Structure 1
């Protein structure tokens, strides 16, 4: 799932620039029906070309705190709009995909991929429809790759992915967001008919939704001093989100055996070379715990893990949606919350009551972070243990990076445990 960055090539800066090119045509207001009404917001609504404008960095701390709460709302709206969009009319044929995969029907998969690809030019008009096209083409093209067929055998597919990536400002292939959060609940796309895959999609969606307000809360906390009375509530909000996230992972661990995941599902998450870059499949490193780590516990200059972590970020940040990448840029202009708040609280002895409440909130949040991270490491190792030597997770890794992340989390937990308490 996620391992040592040295085991996979990072997307180049040039490639990232292509995916997020500002030269892509801006989207006109859309009034087209996307073949089925959105399940969330009102039909016909579109977002800006990406959601970055909703989280534009501000220099004044008060402005920054106020603006950060807008991140969850535009991301929820974008995900709902993409989930409700079907520009390729894929919902009609998507139920056939699991049977084609079960039969290994390469000719049928090729026809399906060509049919959907042939509808892109006439039906993709904006960010929303481009995101939906990336989702559905992703299912078809990854299915071909799983059966040993280079997706570029579909004429024009690579160029289309690059254009769709530029339109959305995201990686030009399927991602954990298209696979789960932007997968329509009433017309779910899947590779297989396995109930385990249906549960996997549901739990990844639930986990991603839960972390949106948690990220907002941590962004709002960034400029606040340890004695600010608002911090306790913000940390409690983040803890609630991470509690749900950890519960979703445990549900996956209980319901999906390593044999089922590694043998039946993992083959549908292959790396793909697009525009000369190896792009990795949907994986946990693409999810919002990456942002939580940046906000809360990332290494600081001079820390032993700093060099490794910077490489890890260079590889994984490009897979985040544009708004989350902007949030990461903002977060990295501040010290990570945990070491900063521990330092500020410890500046007074005994710790003042408001700072003590802040530390208590941090301890609750770190318990949930550990409740996610350690089982995740165990789950990844259980899967790797039944795979051939040298295998990588869907994100292009061994488990080394999960070891590094667990060590970082435990080190921050020890720092917090050693913080002075109120007397």
Structure 2
């Protein structure tokens, strides 16, 4: 529990336990999903979805993690059917009510998210996959590695909000935040090295298309929904009023954990860390040299990640490669460029304030 009363580590969301569960008896049927998808066999996918959909009384008997695992497994089939151009919910009587109830029980959207698809997905032969291609496993590995580190980063952001700039703990908190954000650099480097733009754009991107549930279109479990934007919000974005970024933030927030989703409202209207240090250093930056250098290191982490992410996106969404104009998280290349530009601007502010001769 943090000093502002926010619990960022919700013990109900037990990833290892959820990954080990199979409440729908889906292990064997889901092993065949890559083959069904390769054949575009919508009848077989629909039949599997119909067989695995539980009744509402069965859902009522599930515990919290069993609800997460059930959504994970139904979600794989939802995305698979929709990938072949068919809305899945009308094909299966009772499915919509089950999805809504699973979402209600877990305080999440009524379909699977990147959390279900990656960190709550078992490894090895039980891993749920759309394609079965090793490159898909690499793509899943990025969120698996970075989501826990993002949790650590958000805790540091939360701590920094409650820590006076003059507190000796402030700079170590910034350094720990920088270390946590380093996981995103590692993850994006692995994707660049091991996943082709064509594989993502032409084989994986279609599985993240919107599925209609209860009158709303819900995007699929794309890595683009790993909520790094929350760190942006704490570091610099609460000072920015870019309408496109605000809209992206609002939609993306729906796809993450309840405690993390709540941070948007808490952090949007408070001064960012960049602003706090800029204002403190305005009369004389010298007393804040270590703070400013540490802040610049944090911002540089974000710039590197976002620059590499934009580079991948440009390759995947070239006209001769892409199947869709918008990214898997609903954003455009222009939005990614805008976020990178804003991040660079704020990194430059931090660097410009570091006194001459101090390492930035």
Superposition TM-score, scaled by structure 2 size: 0.91
Provide the C-alpha distance between the structure 1 equivalents of 2:247 and 2:83, rounded to a whole number of angstroms: 29
1:390 shift after superposition: 6.0
Equivalence for 1:275:
214
Provide the C-alpha distance between the structure 1 equivalents of 2:21 and 2:323, rounded to a whole number of angstroms: 41
Q: Is the 8 A contact 1:350 1:422 kept in 2?
A: no
Q: How does 1:5-404 map to 2 (within 5 A)?
A: 63-64=3-4, 71-72=8-9, 74=11, 77-118=13-54, 121-123=57-59, 125-152=62-89, 153-186=91-124, 187-300=126-239, 303=240, 305-347=241-283, 349=284, 351-352=286-287, 355-385=288-318, 386-387=320-321, 391-404=325-338
Alignment partner of 1:421 out of 330, 339, 355: 355
1:234 shift after superposition: 1.0
Counterpart secondary structure, 2:317: helix
1:350 shift after superposition: 5.0
Q: 1:244 and 1:350, CA in 2 relative to 1: closer, same or farther beyond 3 A?
A: closer
Provide the C-alpha distance between the structure 1 equivalents of 2:201 and 2:134, rounded to a whole number of angstroms: 15
Provide the C-alpha distance between the structure 2 equivalents of 1:128 and 1:143, rounded to a whole number of angstroms: 23
1:142 shift after superposition: 1.1
1:275 shift after superposition: 1.1
Runs in 1 of length 4+ with deviation above 6 angstroms? none
Counterpart secondary structure, 2:212: strand
Counterpart secondary structure, 2:353: coil
Provide the C-alpha distance between the structure 1 equivalents of 2:36 and 2:178, rounded to a whole number of angstroms: 42
CA-to-partner distance for each residue in 1:28-78, whole Å, 9 max, x for gaps? xxxxxxxxxxxxxxxxxxxxxxxxxx67xxxxxxx32xx55x524637x53
Counterpart secondary structure, 1:278: strand
Q: Is the 8 A contact 2:34 2:130 kept in 1?
A: yes
Equivalence for 2:341:
407
Provide the C-alpha distance between the structure 2 equivalents of 1:310 and 1:264, rounded to a whole number of angstroms: 30
Counterpart secondary structure, 1:319: coil
Superposition TM-score, scaled by structure 1 size: 0.78
Q: CA RMSD in A?
A: 2.2
1:191 shift after superposition: 0.6
CA-to-partner distance for each residue in 1:132-155, whole Å, 9 max, x for gaps? 111110001111111222202122
Q: Is the 8 A contact 1:296 1:337 kept in 2?
A: yes
1:420 shift after superposition: 4.5
Q: State the structure with bigger RCO (CA 8 A, min sep 6), 1 or 2.
A: 1
